[in-house]
Structure 1
Amino acid sequence: MAASGRSAGPEVIWARPERSARGPRPSHTRADIAAAAVRIADAEGLDAVSMRRVAAEIGCGTMSLYNYVPRKEDLYELMFDAAVAEYDLSEPPTGDWRADTLALARQTRALMHRHPWLPRLLAPEYGFSPHSLRYLEYALWALDPLDVGGGTKMELLSMLSAVVAAYVTHELSAAERARSSPFAPGQEQAARQEHLVRQLAGGAYPRLAAAFAAPSEVPDGEALFERAVERVLAGFAPRG
């Protein structure tokens, strides 16, 4: 045992009781702590979240906060679980695994826009919190009609999460660049397009020029997102 009385080995915060069977009721709950950390991260980004800031937010001392949350990684896990709790899983799957999984992907995208820090916490360490397990159970339920093994279904969900996170990160980065640009909306993009046209006209990039010259539909962000998700799902459909 460590000098503090805690086990020297790794400890999962969900395996620890939130309150002792003895003694007074704690002044704060894990939900209070998670909500405070989420508020800070939503407003200022994940790097602004510290034990000191969260303690001040809920009105306790920093050292007192460690009695509730032993490590900053545990704090991140509480935040992740609080965000995942926002999934609406109230309706049973329809039986159309593609449509149901696409609906979950839409929820994931919206969740990441509400909490832009969330993609940074996509790690296996935070994937087995109570609400994460609830989400995974539901997602696997939605995949019941898909005739592949459980390991393949977990691979699908992992890949889908990564694709959605990458897509949202790109959207958030583009929005941030647009906000910080000193030019009028669209002005910088127009200048870059003019430069590209000049480069392609020189003949040094014939394949690229042909690709840009070919007629193509330019989908909006919603349609492009759904197309990306559907292509991931198509890769897991049994070949018949």
Structure 2
Amino acid sequence: MTRTGTSGRAAGVDPEALWAPAARPRRGRPPAHSRAGITAAAVALADAEGLGAVTMRAVAARIGAGTMSLYSYVPNKETLLELMIDEMSGGHRLPEPSGDWRADLRHLFHEQRAIMLRHPWLPAALPARRTFGPNTLAALEYALTVLAPAGLDARAGLEVFGLLSGFVASHVTHELAQEQAADGTGDAFHQAQARYLRSPAVTAAHPTVARALAAPDGPASPDATFDRLLNRMIDGLTATA
């Protein structure tokens, strides 16, 4: 459960202060660092060493600053995580809607998957997000705009966006785990699995499961698998009957 203070803001994160336009710099010596630079350093650290490596101390060391001085730019790690997540949302390449809302929606979530595959820490970070930054809002605006012809009301559109984003994060987490588990033995593993599922012991005890999992033509490519599942999710979540 998200903790809130008397103002109603999520504990540790002040959305108004976080996403407000940057104030004009005061006269005199310019700041040594910027939120953008700090965010980029945190993202690079997470890419290289995982989300667990991102601490205020480690990020400060990466930009050559003292830990305490970092707090004058970013008040806490929760806020830094919000900045990192929103920075990733800025990686979506979103063309003008084509008029084919299903194709546009598929494009958005293929982009989301590509971003997560480039930044494997991102799926694990998303559940901790407490607020929507400008880049995330731009992706949401795009999704709701292209969904308009589907005939969903505003709340349903938001739910579709959230559920599809959750599906992408879950799917990418599974993809990355499978890739790590295979460790270069993917083809051999799939062949061994197919032989096991065709074995008399399995087919006799679980015939329906064995037929479903045997996949005689071999596994589909990751891209094709994702696209097939995404299409099913879109069909189910946008059905209005």
Asked if Structure 1 and Structure 2 have the same fold, meaning a TM-score greater than 0.5 normalized by the shorter chain, the answer is yes
Partner of 1:149: 153
**For each residue in 1:78-130, what CA deviation from the matched residue of structure 2 results, as whole angstroms up to 9, or x when unmatched?**
111111111112x2101111000000011011000110011112237345111
Partner of 2:202: 200
- 2:93 is aligned with 1:92: no
The percent identity for this pair of structures is: 42
- Which of 49, 74, 79 is 2:79 aligned to? 74
For 1:187, give the aligned amino acid: A
CA distance in 2, matches of 1:63, 1:156: 41
**Displacement, 1:221?**
1.8
The correspondence of residues 24-173 of structure 1 with structure 2, limited to 5 A, is 24-89=29-94, 91-123=95-127, 125-173=129-177
CA distance in 2, matches of 1:208, 1:130: 46
| Structure 1 residues 70 and 20: alpha-carbon distance in aligned structure 2, compared to 1, 3 A threshold | farther
Partner of 1:4: none
| Structure 1 residues 239 and 86: alpha-carbon distance in aligned structure 2, compared to 1, 3 A threshold | closer
SS at 1:156 equivalent:
helix
Q: Which runs of 4+ in 1 moved over 6 A?
A: 213-217
Q: Is the 8 A contact 1:18 1:30 kept in 2?
A: no
CA distance in 2, matches of 1:18, 1:237: 39
Q: Is the 8 A contact 1:80 1:126 kept in 2?
A: no
For 1:76, give the aligned amino acid: L
CA distance in 2, matches of 1:216, 1:192: 13
* Aligned residue-pair number: 229
For 1:78, give the aligned amino acid: L
**Displacement, 1:152?**
0.4
Segments of 5+ residues of structure 2 without an aligned counterpart are 1-6
| Structure 1 residues 127 and 100: alpha-carbon distance in aligned structure 2, compared to 1, 3 A threshold | farther
Q: Is the 8 A contact 1:52 1:62 kept in 2?
A: yes
| Structure 1 residues 102 and 75: alpha-carbon distance in aligned structure 2, compared to 1, 3 A threshold | same
Deviates more, 1:133-142 or 1:42-51: 133-142
Partner of 1:3: none
CA distance in 1, matches of 2:66, 2:72: 10
- 2:209 is aligned with 1:221: no
**For each residue in 1:54-95, what CA deviation from the matched residue of structure 2 results, as whole angstroms up to 9, or x when unmatched?**
001111100110111111011111111111111112x21011
Deviates more, 1:93-102 or 1:133-142: 133-142
CA distance in 2, matches of 1:195, 1:215: 12
CA distance in 2, matches of 1:52, 1:212: 48
What value does the CA root-mean-square deviation take over the aligned residues?
Answer: 2.7
| Structure 1 residues 196 and 95: alpha-carbon distance in aligned structure 2, compared to 1, 3 A threshold | same
Segments of 5+ residues of structure 1 without an aligned counterpart are 1-6
